[in-house]
Amino acid sequence: LPEDELSRSSHSNPVKSLVNGIKTNPASNSPKSSLSVPMGPPVYVDLAYIPNHCSGKNTDPEFFKRIRASYYVVSGNDAANGEPSRAVLDALLEGKSQWGENLQVTLIPTHDTEVTREWYQQTHEKQQELNIMVLASSSTVVMQDESFPACKIEF
């Protein structure tokens, strides 16, 4: 911002707080609208955990535009709380479509849910177009008296 705009903005709203090191407007209750995230280059990582159990509360297409991962983990398994969120899965498609490069992306759901199954079936063609693969967990790990689905990732 030019200095005069920066000066005006700091005087027009003198009460600010920090959330994860980013100045926010405490009057706003919506995390998305209160964050003032500066534009910057995308970040490339091998593995990213989709925040908040893939809930739509904190993840939107901007997350997927900025955080570019080879693997995204989807851990939601609570339909009553919208986890995983269909909107977040759709945001992955929207964000990835704007990368400008067709890198392979693998989505790793930790639970087999109705939401992920429906999304997979309804958007399969778009996933193929964007080079997105969804892993189905076919392995089971048994530890003591507990067994659970698992998958192995190699980098």
On whether residue 25 sits in a domain, the answer given is: no
Whether 110 is in a domain gets the answer yes
At 96-123, the pLDDT tens digits run 999 988 899 999 988 888 898 999 999 9
Asked if residue 33 belongs to a domain, the reply is no
Q: Show the domain range for 84.
A: 43-149
Query: Using omega within 30 degrees of 0 as the cis cutoff, is the peptide bond preceding 42 cis?
Result: no
Is residue 29 a part of any domain in this protein?
Answer: no
Quote the pLDDT of residue 7.
46
Whether the Cβ atoms of residue 34 and residue 19 lie closer than 8 Å to each other:
yes
Cβ atoms within 10 Å, residue 64? 25
Give the dihedral sign, CA 60/96/87/117: negative
Q: Does the residue 14 lie in any domain? A: no
Residue 75 lies in a domain: yes
Q: What percent of the chain has pLDDT over 70?
A: 68
In a domain, 13, yes or no: no
**Domains contained in the chain, number:** 1
Q: What is the pTM of this model?
A: 0.66
- Whether the per-residue pLDDT at 25 is higher than 50: the answer is no
pLDDT at residue number 57: 75
Q: Which two tokens stand for residue 125?
A: 């063609």
The length of the chain, given as a count of residues: 155
pLDDT in tens, 55-103: 677 788 899 999 999 999 988 778 777 778 899 999 999 999 999 888 9
How far is residue 144 from each of residues 111, 140, 147, 149, 150, measured CA to CA in Å? 21, 13, 8, 15, 15
Q: Is residue 141 part of a domain?
A: yes
